[in-house]
Structure 1
């Protein structure tokens, strides 16, 4: 089947739990993993006569995300009641923003196959989360845990401008990185801190009209979002090609076989009967408030990538890898205060140090090696006193937890390279004398054998011979004979 005849059109709705200390409209603790129904009070349970009170920190976090996503921050904000019945919704309605989202427009830049693309946003709005229905705890019953009810959320809604599962994958990866970068959420999909619904349709390639859309819910990992979209695109094309009609519906994803299945016909927006919440007055955001938040935010990853390339001379690849995590990026910047060999810093961070933190299951925020200690290691390499391999495999393990002076430690461990020409010439001559057959092959044109000779000198010198001086000495002696 020729799938290129059709263009997928995808819009994503991403719910992000904000890591405030308390809930959006009550003082209940906002923490994951506590015993069921231990983080509830009369407001969360919607007892008669209770009144909600706005969480100011949640507003700040929403504005932060809006700034990070290049949105326009709305000055006038109101809340509405979104009416629908579900057992885990104590009030029988959800408090959300309807006609006045806190952030409007904006975009997030992604990279797919080396090409950058802006994914345009429709809105970001604040709302409260529902509780959680648990269907498998007690046979024959559904259990309700209201701990999550009232947790502050932002919902990030894209325009229908995503055209492949890979673009959706990269967009979600960027969203998760951003919310962690500005520290408004842990972005953990497995714990429900970040949840995604995908609206998917297809249309003939070249057409501008939108097709019938299907919404896929319950996607609990970025990889599953990609798999669900891929499956839906193929399913829809097969339906159209076989003369059948695509039905607008809500579907769920089955991770056991990477397929989707229908769960209900899709509701329309008017089914929710939105109306302004009479218990919450409008709130206003002025420009000075936005400016203060903007000043408090760290440099964002997309801007840092550009800085790493233009100011520090790093490759696009190195800049991208460093900016995958905020603490890694800022560890690099901190180290540049002590060393100007920026490429060497990047190599060490993305090589041995990244391996170290991965083995420990930590990130660069918790690494014990100080930036100035890393700069000291790099200085020894730059001065030709040790090579990269020795620094990574022998010196680094000796000082990574105690930050001992790299130069002194290298001396104690007898790691300092020998750059004495007489000593190296002696070792080189020993190798040449021991390998006459290989010497003859080298002279007959097998110049690649120089690596073998260098390796043998390294063995004799117990790794202390300066590799560059060893190579040049070998070439000189071999060419003179």
Structure 2
């Protein structure tokens, strides 16, 4: 078969850099807070002044061990820091402290699902390193400024195996990694602020072959949407080159989201180009079993296990469980509500429908919900006890969101208690029947769907306060 007739399979590996949620940098005590004036969170250590010595932040190691455990990696008993040598204006030392030959964790995996198919993505290694600074390019003049506040901010790099075969799988892998990082509370995963970044290694190979093609590295991927679009473009670009008889060049390419394309940035470096060698200022990092055990004891219930529990123990559909466990805070809200109103499906429906709809409309996340779990549970208890109808419950929900008051208070203030007294409902039903003789005749002639019309008329007359169940019962008796 000629090259023009060949089908190709994408081969994708991802390098994820997650900024760790420590108060201070990895090798000094400077603040990691985002948004400070340029070059104010710096010191002689992170600026690489002569004669200074780095000191490892233990919390960085704690956080990395937790991520290693969450992704089934083996935490190595001994690892080493290395100097990665390259020159760039935002790298004041002329090298980056990273890990190379002896990373802290190796050999893990992450299970994901794409189109209802389970996929296991191998994780080659996890290592720690320091971030570089930031170049700010003047849009009007050929001038670039250097902000070194970010220099020395702790990063955790998670390197996948080349197991990913589609842009969709790449996007899902990244989403699940980010969810785990946030569950562990070790990174905020904010892609806009650069605390969750990704580089993609992309190649294609003839379908059925095991020989990998020449890969390119794609940078500047700062959203899940950009990752998938950039991968689609790069796969198509490489396929077109091979179909035309050309050769893919190993290089680093830059994703331009405004133009929807990748462009060549520089030739792709290999490891030897960086002249790695062990950092002489840092001792080998020794991690014993007790340290690992202490981190394991602090681990929360992770999203996959929580999702499985919701399905097995609470009887929720898998789709509901996925929505509710998409963030630790949302799952915590669900469980707090469930503790006071023990009907999982009802609670799930209100959270996924009314509550998330309200939050989306206001641009809020669950941590800023104007309705607390206890207040939502209070409303659901009133609904379950027939104190309010379903329609009135929606009105009460909106009033709770606007005022912060409890459902009980709103119901009492507005006189919204559901009417279940048949002696009060009977005369209204009689009036509706008397006022609609044509509909009564058609109903008795077999058009039973008109029951909805009569119920609606009664509810209208009672301003939604009548108990719909009792209204239906009375109507059936009177209409025959």
TM-score (norm. length: structure 2): 0.94
Corresponding residue of 1:48: 50
Count of residue correspondences:
478
> 1:413 matched to which residue of 2?
414
- Tell me if 1:383 matches 2:389: no
Cα pair 1:137 1:143 within 8 Å, conserved: no
Cα drift, residue 118 of structure 1: 2.0
Q: Which residue of 1 aligns with 2:231?
A: 229
Q: Distance in 1 between matches of 2:77 and 2:94?
A: 29
| Structure 1 residues not aligned, in runs of 5+ | none
Task: State how far apart, in whole Å, the 1-side matches of 2:71 and 2:136 are.
Answer: 35
* CA positional deviation for 1:268: 1.1
2:474 aligned with 1:473, yes or no?
yes
Question: Which residue, out of 29, 32, 57, partners 1:30?
Answer: 32
Tell whether the 8 Å contact from 1:216 to 1:252 is kept in structure 2 after alignment: yes
Q: CA deviation at 1:408?
A: 5.0
Separation in 2, partners of 1:205, 1:76: 40
**Equivalences for 1:47-86 in 2 at 5 Å?**
47-86=49-88
- The residue aligned with 2:154 is 152
Q: Distance in 2 between matches of 1:201 and 1:87?
A: 31
Residue matched to 2:167: 165
Distance in 2, Cα, partners of 1:401 & 1:366: 14
Partner of 1:184: 186
| Change in CA separation of 1:395 and 1:86 when aligned onto 2, cut-off 3 Å | closer
Comparing 308-317 with 389-398, greater Cα deviation is found at: 389-398
| Preserved contact between residue 395 and residue 410 of structure 1 (Cα < 8 Å) | no
Is 226-235 or 395-404 further displaced after alignment? Answer: 395-404
Which residue matches 2:95? 93
The more displaced of 132-141 and 236-245 is 132-141
CA distance in 2, matches of 1:474, 1:70: 62
In 2, the alpha carbon distance for the partners of 1:460 and 1:4 equals: 71
Equivalent residue number for residue 315 of structure 1: 317
Match of 1:131 among 128, 133, 140: 133
Is 2:310–2:316's contact at 8 Å kept on the other side of the alignment? yes
Relative to 1, partners in 2 of residues 1:6 and 1:465: Cα closer, same or farther, differing over 3 Å? same
Aligned partner of residue 432 in structure 1, secondary structure? helix
Matches within 5 A, 1:278-357: 278-357=280-359
1:262 is paired with a residue of what secondary structure?
A: strand
1:445 to 1:209, Cα distance in 2 relative to 1, 3 A: farther
Q: What CA deviation, in whole Å up to 9, does each residue of 1:164-223 have, x standing for no partner?
A: 111111111112222222111111111111111011111122212211111101111111
Q: Residues 394 and 335 of structure 1: is their aligned pair in 2 closer, same or farther, counting only changes over 3 Å?
A: closer
Q: C-alpha distance in 2, partners of 1:138/1:184?
A: 38
- Greater shift, 61-70 or 50-59, is seen at 61-70
Q: CA offsets per residue over residues 226-250 of structure 1, 9 Å max, x none?
A: 1000111111111111221111111
Give the whole-Å Cα distance in 1 for the aligned partners of 2:19 and 2:46.
16
Structure 2: state its 5+ residue gaps: none
8 Å contact kept, 2:396–2:410:
no
After the TM superposition, which segments of 4 or more aligned residues of structure 1 sit over 6 Å from their partners? 1-4
SS at match of 2:460: helix
In structure 2, how many angstroms separate the alpha carbons of the residues matched to 1:2 and 1:373?
64
